[in-house]
Structure 1
Amino acid sequence: MNGTVTAEKLLQLMEEHSYKPLTLEELHEVLGGSYEDLKEILQGLELEGKVVRTRKNKYGLPSKMGLVAGFLQVSPKGFAFLSPLDKGEDVYISPANLGGAMHQDLVLARLLPYQGLRRREGEIIRVLKRACTRVVGTYERNRRLGFVVPDDPHLHQDIFVPLEESKGARHKDKVVVEITRWPDGRRNPEGRVVEVLGPAGAPGIDILSIVKKYDLKPEFPPAVKREAKKIKEQVESEDLVGRRDLRDWRIVTIDGEDAKDLDDAVSIRRLENGNYLLGVHIADVSYYVKEDSALDKEAYRRGTSVYLVDRVIPMLPPRLSNGICSLNAGADRLTLSVVMEVSPRGEVINYDIFPSVIRVRERMTYTDVRRILVDKDPVLLERYRELADDFHVMEELCLILVEKRKRRGALDFDFPEAKVVLDDEGRPVEILKRERSIAERIIEEFMVLANEVVAQHLHYLEVPFIYRVHEEPAPDKLEELNTFLGHFGFYVRRDGEGRVHPKALQRILEQVRGRPEERVIHTVVLRSLMRARYAPEALGHFGLASKYYCHFTSPIRRYPDLVVHRILREVLSKGRIHPRRIEKLKEFVAKASEHASEQERIAEEAERESLTLKMVEFMKGRLGDVYSGIISGVAPYGFFVELENTVEGLVHISTLTDDYYQFQEEQLALVGQHRGRSFRIGQPVRVQVVRVSVEARQVDLELIEAC
């Protein structure tokens, strides 16, 4: 081969049937090009787990050498599963075969001989990349030694800390510890305290611990603050050059009561031909956040805003996110508008995408829009009489779009979300269940449509950008799903090419609507799906049954949206992009997609943990209370119950004293050996709260009766 050596060329060579592992020198003879570049590429691919270097310094693909590279998911029980990079079947790793690897490390595992079990099993032979070097936990000490008990239950080993490395921490202080020696065999990791957060249990320390655990940054670097401060707080005449003036349009924002970063607004008009003219107007953040600026680099690093239970850690400084970029009512704001003519069947007849300036008429909340449309509240109908008809037209179009997506095969899961209300000292006082009303659905449907239009527009222009993708279920997950569904008489069929269409799953969800097993089947189907992510290729969105999809509508709080805006504005202003720029963008969107997906995962975990923490803390004052609930999960050691207030607790198998229960994995059920009594997902039960551990984030329940 001749020309520049690339990672793609190297992997392509190794994938050939005739390839045998070669040394660096031998690969250089075959590929040519720069020796140093080849060496650097090999080192990078090795660190990523995409190639393996043998003891004889020969390189090959893991899959061809009986090896698997992937990320480790460690259970609090000590065992782990390796999620392969190639999206193949998970590999079970016993505690004895962890080889010093820790939760979420990128590792290389050797597959063990088949033991007659259904699952693949392996042992870790190399840690390629550590997930974290710092851990948050509780410091404990005696006269001779100290150690840190990690907050994260997936880190099941205490970290020993020499007394001289304790940084003055006191017994039961929350601390950040830096690992200085990794675990090896039976030896625990060692570390040194780098930050003392304060006494465990003191107000605010719990959420601060989560902030530190996930390395979130409430404060922005000085250079970012300086750059943000230079940005004008108002739109001026020179900002309007090349923009369409939509300030006389009836445009509104519809958000939650607490929202301050308002990045999307909508308008609607019924046309004389019976079609709808829908406008989706998104804050033009890319006008203010220039490529490679300090603001841009920090937004890239963060990837997304993080919404913890008591605070928001924004992607952009508040001067932008709550100020000039937020579509505040009555203020002139710069936007990118997607104006679509939509037929009564929900088809986009034509569309236009352009830079604009708008002035939002009203800052609406989901609650008020619901009260106008559902409750027909006379006070609100009078107050918003100029806009009331628009909301009714929005509802009409929303329902049309919902029906269109249903015809297409899109999946719709409607699980309630929880919101914890805190007092001034951060203590939970109430848990509210948030239901999706027509108001939320209006915004969801309009944003989905705008995202599809933008993604299709850029795809057909053959411009590199970041897609939002959701791949079809993995074969092993589909097999498990079909085994479970078989107990209810259902089966997910593949098409002639062996692929699954979302309609096949949608049909099952519709068939169980209103039946006792509806919740259980919805839950298991959802868990069988792949995780949505960002990618540089159009891999489709399975859940939405959409061929082309991207995130365009939230550039204040998601970096991929900001990138899509920037590329879109470049195309709109220049008409075409230079080939050299195309190549640069291809490289960038590939890297940015992977990074944004990882930052999104971190944000979701932090948000979920902060919510769970306060929900468990709320339940500490409810010991002895009896609740109705639904079994939400079943494991060999018991079953989980989601209570009426959405809190989840565990009924341990040891408390089920009327029989000996065994876990039936295929049925996702606990079944009694003698009486045949069973507990399965979706089953209603009544339970009592018997124990609460805020530290372990666990609520223990005992069964009162099964309904």
Structure 2
Amino acid sequence: MAVTPLAIIAFLESRARRPLTLRDILSGLELSASDRRAAKQLIESMVHDGSLIQLKGDRFSLPRQLNLVTGRVSAHRDGYGFVAPADGGADVFVPARFMREVMHGDRVVVRVERQGRGGSREGRVVEVLERAHTTLVGRFEGGERLGFVVPVDPRLGADLLIPADATGGARPGEMVIARIDVYPGKTRNPEGRIIEVLGPVGDPEVEVLTVIHQHGLPHRFAAATLAAAEAVPETVTAEELAGREDLRGLPLVTIDGVNARDFDDAVAVRAESGGRTRLWVAIADVGHYVPAGSDLDREALERGTSVYFPDRCIPMLPERLSNGICSLNPGVDRLVLVAELLFDGQGVRLDSRFYPAVMRSAARLTYGEVRDMLLHREEAVIARHPELYPRLQEMAALAERLTAMRRQRGSLDFDLPEAEIILNLKGEPEDVVRAERTLAHRLIEEFMLAANEAVAEFLSRREVPLLYRIHEAPTLDKLIAFQQFVAHFNHGILLDGGPGGARRLQQLLASLEGAPEERMINQLLLRSMKQARYAEENAGHFGLAAEYYCHFTSPIRRYPDLVVHRILRQALTGKGMTGRQRQRWQRELPNLAEVTSQRERRAMEAEREIVALKKAQFMEGKVGEEFAGLVSGVQPFGFFVELRDYFVEGLVHISSLGDDFYHYEEERQRLVGSHRRRIFQVGEEVRVRVAKVSLERREIDFELAGIGTAARPPRRPRRRPGRK
């Protein structure tokens, strides 16, 4: 039997009294000659990825046996960092003096040199296993003999030195991409050469390109991928209808944003006897056009997801597919995979069926149109879709029942609004508003959640390998800290470790609606949660209180959905998935889960970055102006204020509060003046002045209107002699 990494680790743990040579390991594992060769290669790869440590004399040991930790380093802009252990456990703090030879994201080995209270650890980097960056993006500045690039990401540390003959024609003040030739040392900066000039700082197009390159987003399709997309037919052929159900007579509709161009889901409902409702969720059959292992497939996996910026989308698939044959445009035949679900009058799913089909969308509706019909009952809009209006009313009623069912079982609904950046024709921000989330949005969300859950349960109960979307429960210490915090706002929550924990959290969130502390408590609970991710093993979805969950409904823009489509199609054909297919998925799913989770995080970070930049640019022209706002969060270094006029948040630093000495009360998350007892806490109305905007740091600084930064705090009273 072939040796595995787990077998080697278990063997070394059992012989932990001393490091072992390669001969010790191979003989102790009792391997055949062929397995010995494979084991040698495996041990080399484990040394490379940090699972094993190779010592002098070709002896091997597990990192923890030597008080070593391997993991990725997360650097802070102030120089220090943390290493998250690859095998779990508490992060290791690394002081700035031991960070000079590493860069943010590097995979390193850290020696733990100090253990603190509460499990905290401190150490130093002893080896860099893998560099996270071969290039960086930044602003070029030139000197007489030597230029340098200031990284856009402040976590990357020191400036990159550029020799005079390696500037690539860049001029001072331009954004560039530079290759790293020499990594930082204890006493030297990194060095490199400029390989691409993006353009001048401040150009909207350059700003987007900067974020794209900073996060390593693939944004140009390879020629082979575009050629493969061009070869795909633009219309559905008669031959492709074989084996598919015909839903072209069903009034399926798409409901999307007004600017959407790719429509990958369509819905329809029908009221049936006994208060039951039948729901059809038809999803574009992207897998029919994107074969596994093809050029289209490989590039889709490399991207992992579409990325959405205020002025554009970086699609996962070429537009010929995403906006063409895979888009459920109205009035044309399209191939789909369908989840047909039957619900009772309470929203309980009674039955489900899944099958490939052909459909023809009856209408392309926008969220605004559906809102106007259902909420405002606007006759002019209803008159445009008279035959669909009753169907939409049935959809709204079903969505309401599904929402109630989810909340009853403990599904958490975080009401955290997102920013929408309004751009002018030059791509410059001219307004920042709260993104609208109406009944129409919630209607589609409920139907997509129902379909995702039904597909996951169908495949799980048949023991088919699946790429799950999981969300693990928060740790008990996180929940206890949250419980203690909300108690200061007179909100209680029982933590007994039982299955009703999620339900009680949902009840708490519902009770907060409209309260000043609603957003803060929502955010704090969200930060207490673990991050949802993809996994080959089912761990349930805590946030949705769902035992089974996967992503099935967006294969145009998410690669995991495409994987689930392929698995579902194999499970539905003939006698079901073959043994060979099962084995292949069992091999591939762990890596797919890790890669797609990483791609998703990369996209989210890039999207947040561009929104933060646009907000800073919008406020840059308003320095000195005053606005009304609400305190939205409090920290030891100051408090954040959300403006009423614009959906923008900035910091009032504690150093700008010149009327008193302020101290932070952590348990209540508020700042209190030592003498005047003025309190700054969440929900308080304040008036602020825009003091400073940093585009590089994406930060907006406010100061309280009426409190000058030059004013000195009152003197502390002197102690009288004899007083203690």
Q: Same-fold call, TM > 0.5?
A: yes
Structure 1 stretch displaced more, 508-517 or 299-308: 508-517
1:527 is matched with 527
**Gap change, CA 1:214 and 1:665, over 3 Å in 2:** same
- Secondary structure of the residue aligned to 1:234 is coil
* AA aligned opposite 1:24: L
CA contact (8 A) 2:520 2:633 kept: no
Cα 1:13–1:359 change in 2 (3 A) is farther
**Residue 342 (1) aligns with residue 343 (2):** yes
Q: AA paired with 2:304? A: G
How many corresponding residue pairs? 703
Report if aligned partners of 1:685, 1:705 keep a CA contact under 8 Å in 2: no
Q: Distance in 2 between matches of 1:11 and 1:656?
A: 56
Please report how far the alpha carbon of residue 653 of structure 1 lies from its aligned counterpart in structure 2 after TM superposition. 1.6
Match in the other structure for 1:574: 574
**SS across alignment from 2:168:** coil
- The corresponding residue for 1:9 is 7
For structure 2, the residue ranges without an aligned partner over 5 or more in a row are: 708-724
Q: 1:502 aligned to 2:502? A: yes
Instruction: Choose 577-586 or 289-298, whichever is displaced more.
Output: 577-586
Give how far 1:87 is off.
4.2
Contact 2:516–2:682 (8 Å) recurs in 1 = no
Matched position secondary structure for 1:574: coil
1:618 — aligned with what? 618
Match of 1:196 in 2: 197
- Matching residue's letter, 2:192: G
The one-character-per-residue Cα deviations of 1:62-81 (angstroms, maximum 9, x if unpaired) are 44543333332222222223
Distance 2:616 2:211 in 1: 15
Once residues 313 and 408 of structure 2 are traced to their aligned partners in structure 1, the CA distance between those partners, rounded to angstroms, is 38
Residues 105-156 of structure 1, C-alpha deviations (whole Å, 9 max, x = no match):
2233222323458743332222232222211100001102111111112223
Partner of 2:606: 606
Written as runs of structure 1 = structure 2, the 5 A alignment for 1:382-531 is 382-490=383-491, 493-495=494-496, 501-531=501-531
> How many Å apart are 1:429 and its aligned residue?
1.5
Matches within 5 A, 1:168-187: 168-187=169-188
Q: Does 1:694 align with 2:695?
A: yes
Q: Residues 244 and 358 of structure 2 are in contact (CA less than 8 Å); yes or no, is this contact kept in structure 1? A: yes
In structure 2, relative to structure 1, the CA distance for the partners of 1:63 and 1:345 (3 Å cut) is: farther
Equivalent position of 1:23 in the other structure: 21
| Structure showing greater Rg | 2
SS state at 1:38 partner: helix
What residue number does 1:561 align with? 561
Match of 1:639? 639
- The CA distance in 2 between the partners of 1:99 and 1:25, in whole Å, is 37
After superposition, the Cα gap between the structure-2 partners of 1:38 and 1:705, relative to the gap in structure 1 and judged at 3 Å, is farther
Which sits farther off after the overlay, 121-130 or 366-375? 121-130
Deviation per residue, 1:173-212 (Å, 9 max, x gap)? 1100111122222432222111111122234111111112
Q: How does 1:136-147 map onto structure 2 within 5 Å?
A: 136-147=137-148
Question: What is the alpha-carbon distance in structure 2 between the residues aligned to residue 119 and residue 661 of structure 1?
Answer: 28
Retained in 2: the 8 A contact 1:691–1:699? yes
8 Å contact 1:88–1:474 — kept in the other structure?
no
CA contact (8 A) 1:686 1:703 kept: yes
> Which residue pairs with 1:322 in the alignment?
323
Shift of 1:20: 6.0
The 1:606–1:252 alpha-carbon spacing in structure 2 relative to 1, beyond 3 Å, is same
* Deviations 1:375-428 (CA, angstroms, capped at 9, x unpaired): 111101111110011111111111111111111111111111111121222111
Residue 273 of structure 2 aligns to a residue whose secondary structure is coil
Distance 1:68 1:490, change over 3 A: farther
> Which whole-Å CA distance do the structure 2 matches of 1:55 and 1:99 have between them?
25
TM-score normalised to structure 1 length: 0.94
Alpha-carbon separation, structure 2, partners of 1:43 and 1:573:
42
Q: CA deviation at 1:265?
A: 0.6
- Pairing 1:256–2:254 present: no
Q: What are the Cα deviations for residues 480-527 of structure 1, in whole angstroms up to 9, with x where unaligned?
A: 434433433556554457x88322422332343343322221121111
| Contact 1:414–1:436 under 8 Å retained in 2 | no
Q: Contact (CA 8 Å) 1:480, 1:666: kept in 2 or not?
A: no
> Quick one: structure 1 residues 117 and 679, their matched pair in 2 at CA, closer, same or farther if it must change by over 3 Å?
farther
Distance in 1 of aligned mates of 2:281 and 2:58: 56
For 1:615-642, what per-residue CA distance to the aligned partner results, in whole angstroms no more than 9, with x for missing partners? 1111122222222333344444322223
Report the Cα offset of residue 56 of structure 1: 5.3
Compute the displacement of 1:233 (Å).
0.3
**Structure 1 stretch displaced more, 68-77 or 549-558:** 68-77
After TM superposition, the structure 1 stretch with the greater mean CA deviation from structure 2, 73-82 or 266-275, is: 73-82
What is the distance in 2 between the residues matched to 1:671 and 1:106?
Answer: 42
Gapped regions of structure 1 (runs ≥ 5):
none
Deviates more, 1:393-402 or 1:12-21: 12-21
Residues 113 and 334 of structure 1: is their aligned pair in 2 closer, same or farther, counting only changes over 3 Å? same
Residues 22, 589 of structure 1: alpha-carbon distance in 2 compared, 3 angstrom cutoff: same
Distance, in Å, in 2 between the alignment partners of 1:589 and 1:45 is: 21
Please give the alpha-carbon distance, in whole angstroms, between the structure 2 residues aligned to 1:430 and 1:663.
34
Distance 1:41 1:418 in 2: 48
Query: Is 1:114 equivalent to 2:112 in the alignment?
Result: no
- 2:356 corresponding residue in structure 1: 355
Residue 225 of structure 1, CA deviation: 1.1
CA distance in 1, matches of 2:592, 2:434: 35
1:152 aligns with 2:150: no
The residue type equivalent to 2:174 in the other structure is D
Task: Report the Cα distance in structure 2 between the residues aligned to 1:671 and 1:120, rounded to whole angstroms.
Answer: 32
Shift of 1:259: 1.0
Matched residue, 1:591: 591
- Alpha-carbon distance in structure 1 between the residues aligned to 2:13 and 2:356: 46
- Judging changes above 3 Å, is the alpha-carbon distance between structure 1 residues 19 and 346 closer, same or farther for their aligned structure 2 residues? farther
- Measure how far apart 1:667 and its partner are: 4.1
Q: 2:416·2:522 contact (CA, 8 Å) conserved in 1?
A: no
Change (3 A) 1:574 1:27: farther
Shift in alpha-carbon separation, 1:664–1:144, aligned structure 2, 3 A = farther
Say if 1:245 and 1:357, in contact at 8 Å, map to a contact too. yes
Change (3 A) 1:261 1:199: same
Residues 317-340 of structure 1 deviation map (CA, whole Å, 9 limit, x = unaligned): 111000000000111000000000
For 1:5 and 1:61, the matched residues in 2 are separated by: 17
Deviates more, 1:344-353 or 1:89-98: 89-98
Contact 1:493/1:500, CA 8 A, preserved across alignment: no
Asked if the contact 1:89/1:476 (under 8 Å) is kept, the reply is no
Moved more, 92-101 or 665-674: 665-674
Alpha-carbon distance in 2 for matches of 1:63, 1:665? 35
TM norm structure 2: 0.92
* Matches of 1:583 and 1:687, distance apart in 2: 61
C-alpha deviations, 1:642-695, integer Å up to 9, x for none? 323222212122101122233444444434344443434454432111222223
Q: Tell whether the 8 Å contact from 2:215 to 2:602 is kept in structure 1 after alignment.
A: yes
Worse overlay, 14-23 or 146-155? 14-23
1:330 counterpart SS class: coil
Equivalent position of 2:719 in the other structure: none
* Residue 68 to residue 158, structure 1, CA distance change in 2 (3 Å): same
Distance 2:599 2:45 in 1: 21
Q: Could you tell me how far apart the structure 2 residues matched to 1:183 and 1:480 are?
A: 40
Deviates more, 1:211-220 or 1:310-319: 211-220
The 1:9/1:297 distance shift into structure 2, 3 A limit, reads: same
The answer on whether the counterparts of 1:13 and 1:19 sit within 8 Å (CA) in structure 2 is no
Cα 1:83/1:588, change in 2 over 3 Å: same
Aligned to 1:547: 547
